[in-house]
């Protein structure tokens, strides 16, 4: 049953085109092999990955957005660049994505990503070079069978905006179109705090989380993840 679920990820994301699904599967296997130090041995209980996930750096909301998509929330301020490495970051993300993709509704509806980059340090920014960042994003988008429907980046400081612009210019045309269509950069002065749990909304009261109704997410162990 699990093998069927795994293959359906690629078929669904490519709308059941066998040649395209096969090509993506081969790219996925190549990605896992090329970046084996980051994308293999994905054990959620291993240290320091378990500590990073338990810190609430990356969480999956127990509620879907108004379109039925699974919402992944990343809080950069909870990533200690002096304790964790970019390998730990990559593994935490891949473990999260793989766990979510086990659910068939998520395979169909896709994902909404919310990233809060407030309080990031220079050490955090330099975890990845612009070339490394653009390469891993490009390969991941083309290889991992996820439907990325919306990307929202909150509280972008000026220094990080310059880094983003520099990396964005290194993307190919296809990647630039993806980000321009699905991504939003929101400055701190365009946001307001909705609750003490940290939900941020635009000042025009349109909930950036698309109907999460004030629920900040589910930090901690995947054993507590509630799937609709």
Question: Across the chain, what does the average pLDDT equal?
Answer: 77
Domain count, the chain: 1
Of 165, 191, 162, nearest in space to 180 by CA: 165
pLDDT band at 162 (very low <50, low <70, confident <90, very high): low
Residue 17 belongs to domain spanning: 2-224
CATH at residue 139: 3.40.525.10
Q: Other C-beta atoms within 10 Å of 3: how many?
A: 7
pLDDT in tens, 31-71: 999 999 999 999 999 889 999 999 999 999 999 998 999 99
Instruction: Please give the pLDDT value at position 104.
Output: 94
Q: What are phi and psi of 133, to 5 degrees?
A: -65, -50
Structural contact between residues 167 and 159, judged by C-beta atoms closer than 8 angstroms:
no
Q: Residues 12, 18, 21, 22: is their CA dihedral positive or negative?
A: positive
φ/ψ bin of 210: left (φ > 0), alpha (ψ from -120 to 50), beta (otherwise): left
Determine the Cα–Cα distance for residues 46 and 44; give it in Å rounded to an integer: 6
**Mean pLDDT on 84-113:** 95
C-alpha to C-alpha distances, 12 to 21, 47, 163, 182, nearest whole angstrom: 8, 34, 34, 20
Summary count for the chain: helices (H), strands (E): 10, 7
Instruction: Please give the pLDDT value at position 119.
Output: 82
The pTM for the full model equals: 0.75
Determine the Cα–Cα distance for residues 202 and 96; give it in Å rounded to an integer: 27
pLDDT in tens, 132-159: 887 888 888 899 999 998 888 888 776 6
List residues bridging with 192 in a β-sheet: 201
Retrieve residue 25's tokens. Answer: 């599967």
DSSP string, 175-220: HHHHHHHHEEEE-GGGEEE-STT--EEETT---TTSS-TT-----S
Instruction: Please give the pLDDT value at position 223.
Output: 33
């Amino acid at each position: 049953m699990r093998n069927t679920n795994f293959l359906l990820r690629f078929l669904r994301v490519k709308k059941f085109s066998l040649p395209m699904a096969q090509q993506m599967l081969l790219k996925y296997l190549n990605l896992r092999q090329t970046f084996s130090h980051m994308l293999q041995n994905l054990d959620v209980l291993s240290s320091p990955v378990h500590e990073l996930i338990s810190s609430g750096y990356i969480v999956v909301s127990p509620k879907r957005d108004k379109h039925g998509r699974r919402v992944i929330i990343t809080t950069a301020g909870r990533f200690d660049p002096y304790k964790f490495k970019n390998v730990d970051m990559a593994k935490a993300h891949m473990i999260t994505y793989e766990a979510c993709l086990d659910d068939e509704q998520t395979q169909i509806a896709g994902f909404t990503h919310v990233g809060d980059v407030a309080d990031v340090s220079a050490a955090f920014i330099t975890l990845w070079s612009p070339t490394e960042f653009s390469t891993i994003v490009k390969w991941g988008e083309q290889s991992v069978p996820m439907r990325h429907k919306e990307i929202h980046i909150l509280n972008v400081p000026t220094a990080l905006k310059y880094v983003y612009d520099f990396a964005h210019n290194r993307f190919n045309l296809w990647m630039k179109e993806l980000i321009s269509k699905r991504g939003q950069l929101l400055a701190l002065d365009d946001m307001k705090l909705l609750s003490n749990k940290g939900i941020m909304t635009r000042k025009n009261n349109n909930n950036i989380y698309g109907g999460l109704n004030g629920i900040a997410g589910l930090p901690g162990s995947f054993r507590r993840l509630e799937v609709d």
